[in-house]
Amino acid sequence: MSDTIYPKFHVYGPKGWINDPNGLMFYKNHYHVFYQYYPDDVHWGPMHWGHAVSEDLRHWDYLEPALCPDAQDDGCFSGSAIEVEGKLYLIYTSFTNRDGVIRQQQAIAVSEDGIHFEKKGLIITSDELPEGYLKEDFRDPSVTKDADGYLMYTASRKENGKGRILVYKSKDLFHWTFDRDLFEKDSLGTMIECPDKVGDVLTFTEQFFPTDVDGNNNIHASRYILKDRNGCFAYENASALDYGFDYYAAQSFKEKNILIAWMSMWDRSFLSEKDGYAGELTYPRVLEIENGELIQKPFLLKEDHFVDIPFAKNQKIHCRSGIIHFSFNDLESLEMRFYEDEEKYAKLTLIGDELVFDRSRCEQVSFKETDANSLMGIRKMPVNLSKKSHESYLVIDHGSVEIFFDGKTLSSLLASNSKGGLIEIDCVASEGKIELLNI
d(CA 334, CA 338): 13
**Of 3, 20, 330, 371, catalytic:** 20
126 lies in the binding site for ligand FRU (CB under 6 A): no
Least Å from the CB of residue 47 to ligand FRU:
5
Between 36 and 126, CB nearer to ligand FRU? 36
Return left, alpha or beta for 274; rule: phi > 0 is left, psi -120 to 50 is alpha, else beta. alpha
- Report d(CA 266, CA 61) in Å as an integer: 26
- How does 187-216 read in b/e, with b if 16+ C-beta sit within 10 Å? bbbbbbbbbbbbeebbbbbbbbbebeeebb
Q: Estimate to the nearest angstrom the gap between the alpha carbon of 42 and the chain centroid.
A: 19
Active site residue 20: yes
Residue placing its CB nearer to ligand FRU in the complex, 18 or 346: 18
Binding residue for ligand FRU, selected from 13, 82, 124, 140, defined by CB under 6 A: 140
Residue 225: its H or E element: strand 221-226
* Interacting residue with ligand FRU among 50, 65, 93, 390 (CB under 6 A): 93
Q: Does 206 bind ligand FRU (CB under 6 A)?
A: no
Answer yes or no whether residue 76 interacts with ligand FRU by CB under 6 A.
no
Among 16, 19, 129, 437, binds ligand FRU (CB under 6 A): 19
Write down the least CB distance from residue 135 to ligand FRU, Å.
15
Counting residues that bind ligand FRU (by CB under 6 A) gives 13
Q: 286-293, long-range: CB within 8 Å, 24+ apart, which pairs?
A: 286/257, 286/258, 286/259, 287/198, 287/199, 287/201, 287/252, 287/257, 287/258, 287/259, 288/257, 288/407, 289/199, 289/200, 289/201, 289/226, 290/407, 292/226, 293/407
**Given 35, 77, 224, 270, the residue binding ligand FRU (CB under 6 A):** 77
Map residues 327-346 to x or -, x wherever contact with ligand FRU holds by CB under 6 A: --------------------
CB of 36 to ligand FRU, least distance (A): 4
Among 249, 281, 319, 434, binds ligand FRU (CB under 6 A): 249
| Of the residues 32, 48, 51, 139, which one makes contact with ligand FRU according to CB under 6 A | 139
CA distance 270 to 94: 27
Q: How far is CA 33 from CA 51, 60, 349, 411, in A?
A: 6, 9, 34, 19
Q: Is 193 in the site for ligand FRU (CB under 6 A)?
A: yes
Interface with ligand FRU (CB under 6 A) = 19-20, 36, 47, 77-78, 93, 139-140, 193-194, 248-249
Q: Please give the positions annotated as active site.
A: 20
